[in-house]
């Protein structure tokens, strides 16, 4: 579904220099209001289209897998993940009031470096993340979900979870030695 002039784009995402990006988001109560539901729906569609080259070019979208509502200036504990598990096939997650219940001891990192729709510059360094996490959250209808994420989805979940607490990925890079974990943790 394309909304024409009202389509959410990556230009609507606030950047790292906007003070709101460092806010700690507030717990959400149910039922969600229609405006919040629409924002969630629009965010999912933008992320899906951003991963399809034809639409990414057409609508000038930067590719992304996750988006927290705080990145739109909305301080609610909500984020969405759109994961392309096979070309043109997507799994979507609407994550509300999440908690990380447990994390693996094994740490991993994104080999080519983490990116973020709120950061428009390259940042070098390793962002250590847990390889597997068990989480609890609520879906758009207020149903409680318990799930285990691993590898790439675990990284995206942790990245977006950090946004809810005002943390940007580069906060986790050691400023004195950005690559110190290269030989300790596994790159994916």
Q: Could you say which of 54, 106, 114, 160 is catalytic? A: 160
DSSP-assigned states of every residue in 91-156: EEEEEEEEEEEEE-S-EEE-TT---BTTB-S---S---EESEEEEEEE-TTS-EEEEEEEHHHHHH
Q: How many CA atoms lie within 13 A of 77 on its CB side?
A: 16
Alpha carbons 7 and 46: distance in angstroms, whole number: 8
160 is catalytic: yes
Residues identified as active-site = 160
């Amino acid at each position: 579904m394309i909304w024409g002039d009202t389509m959410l784009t990556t230009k609507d995402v606030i950047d790292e220099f906007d003070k709101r990006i460092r806010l700690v988001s507030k717990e959400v109560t149910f039922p969600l209001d229609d405006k919040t539901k629409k924002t969630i729906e629009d965010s999912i569609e933008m992320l899906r289209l951003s991963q399809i080259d034809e639409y990414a070019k057409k609508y000038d979208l930067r590719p992304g897998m996750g988006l927290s509502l705080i990145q739109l200036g909305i301080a609610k504990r909500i984020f969405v993940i759109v994961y392309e598990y096979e070309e043109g096939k997507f799994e979507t997650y609407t994550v509300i009031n999440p908690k990380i219940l447990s994390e693996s001891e094994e740490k991993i990192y994104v080999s080519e470096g983490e990116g973020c729709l709120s950061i428009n510059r390259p940042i070098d360094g390793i962002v250590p993340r847990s390889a597997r996490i068990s989480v609890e959250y609520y879906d758009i209808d207020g149903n409680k979900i318990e799930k285990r994420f691993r590898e790439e989805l675990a990284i995206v979940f942790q990245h977006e979870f950090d946004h809810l607490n005002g943390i940007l990925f580069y906060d986790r890079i050691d400023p004195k030695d950005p690559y110190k974990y290269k030989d300790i943790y596994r790159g994916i």
